[in-house]
Every structure is written in C-alpha cells, then in structure tokens.
A and B are shown apart, each in its own frame.
Chain A
Amino acid sequence: MDNFVQIYKTQGSVMNINIFLSVIIIFIGIYGIVSKKDIILKLLSLGIFQSAIVILFVVIAYRGVSPVYMPEIAVYSDPLIHSFLLTVIVIGFANLALMLVFVMIIVNKYKTYNFDEIENIMNKK
C-alpha cells in the first residue's frame, strides 16, 4: 500500500516524460503520413500514429493499478479510458485491413505503389 501511494505521488514527473515521448511518436507517425510516397508506408505510419495515441491515453489513465477491483486499494487506473481504447484498437485493426485491401486493388490496377505515379496516371486519363 505504501509503495502504491509513493507511485501515486510521484506520477506527475513520470507522466510528463511519458506524454513527451508519446507526443514524439505521434509526430513520427504524422511525418510518415505526409512525407512518404509509398502507399503502404503511409498506412504503416497511420498505424504508428494510432498506436501512439493509444499510448498517450494509457499514460493519461495511468494510476499504478489496473482497474480490477481489489479490497484494500482505493485508486485505480481510469477504466473509462481503457474501455475507449479497447474500441480504438479493434476498429483500427479492422479498418487498417480494409485500407490494405483498397491498396491491393489500386496496386493491381496501376501496377505501382508510388503515390505520385498513380496521380500522374489518373491525370493523364
């Protein structure tokens, strides 16, 4: 119990470092989405972006103990944010798969991964 109280008191400093790191990963993801020319790498960057947001919200919810009730503990990690993240992960997985299917159709049609080349071909038509 004392150990837990200590974690709860010192979480302010820990939180800031973790938020800081997850924001860096978010920007790595956004940078990838904007700058990469390959469509699949764009989608992977989108995955990185999403995972970083999940990490950010896990950090925000963090209070040292997982939200499963135990008699002697008073403060838990926030269960509401965890339940939202459950939704985000499952839907993200399904949507990433759907987007990959669309990429497969595009690649099958234009025979290239490069975004600029695809735009050129579409403009010529």
Chain B
Amino acid sequence: MTCAEFQRVLPYIIDTGGNAEQEQHLRECAVCSDLVQDLRYIADQAKLLVPMEDPSPRVWEGLQKSLEREGLVKAAPARRPLLGAPAHGWQWAVAVAALVILAIASFLLHRPEAAPLSMATGSQSQPTATDQDDQQVLQAVATLPPDVRSTYEQGLKDVNAYISDARRSVDQDPNDPDAREFLMQAYEQKAMLYQMATHSGE
C-alpha cells in the first residue's frame, strides 16, 4: 500500500481503525504514522477546550426585554448591589476572594514583560487563589441540587486547568498579548464562578 492510497482513505478510518493492510502501512510508514499521530493529538486537544468568553451585558439586556415583551417573565425588580450585605461571613469571604483573584490577575498581567509568571520551573503552576477558596465555593453550593452542584465542581476543574494552561503560554512567550488576554479571561472566569456561587447560596 502506498502513502497516497493510505491517505486517501484516512478520513474514513482515522477514528475507527483500518483493515489489516492499512494498519500494517501505518506501522511501517513513519510519515503516515506521524501524520495520524498529529491529527489525533489535535482532536484530543480540541476536546479539552473550555468555553472562554462571556457575551457582553447587552445580550442579557436584550434577552430580558424580549422575555418581558413576550410575557415569559415578569419585569425584574431592582437588583441589589452585587456585593450587597451578605447574610453570612463565608459569602463575604468568597466575594472577597473573587476580587482578590481579579487583583492578582491584573497585577500579574501588568508586571514587566520579561518576568515569567511561573514560580517553579517545569511545573504546572496553580493559580494563586487557594484550594481553600475553591473549597469554600464548593461548600457554598453544597445544598444545591446535584446537577447544579456538579456543574460548579466541573466548572472549577475546567477553569483551574485553563488558568494553568494560559499561565504556561504566558511563561513561554511573555510578550504575546493574546496569551496574556487569555490568562486574564481565565481569572475573570474563575472570579465570576465565585460570584455566582456566592449568590446561589442566598
């Protein structure tokens, strides 16, 4: 089997496997083997991409107006401030943690370009928000229905992985504005998760 023949059928066998002849070519041909390895790696990495960006506030404003116009929801009462007087000390602590995360992210992103973010060489550095803060968030949502709770748990895992990844990108190229923007977005995402948890417990 030639490489041309193999690569002609590759789209149809890459995810399911080929026949004996095709598999043998894959074992014996370094070029086709590298190609398949690359394509599978790209597919695997794509599965790990987490949702990154929030829509602007105008989306919610437009949605609210449409829902009210169609009578699907009642007009919303005046909202109290986001960090209004919390009933419990832990809610205040979680809200403060959210602000601290944003402050840390802002500091890290505006430090001199040459300074790497990683504290340890070669390690996947964790965000400076502590595990304790994550645990407080999980406690805040502990009484919610299981599917909502697991959404928060998964959200925390995803956003922590995203922060690690984004930090690695910035460390590799501190002058890359996109990498720094992604890192900021990752921290913002975590801060928003904290804020949502704060309000979900009310």
A and B pair up: no
- Identify the B interface with A (CB < 8 A): none
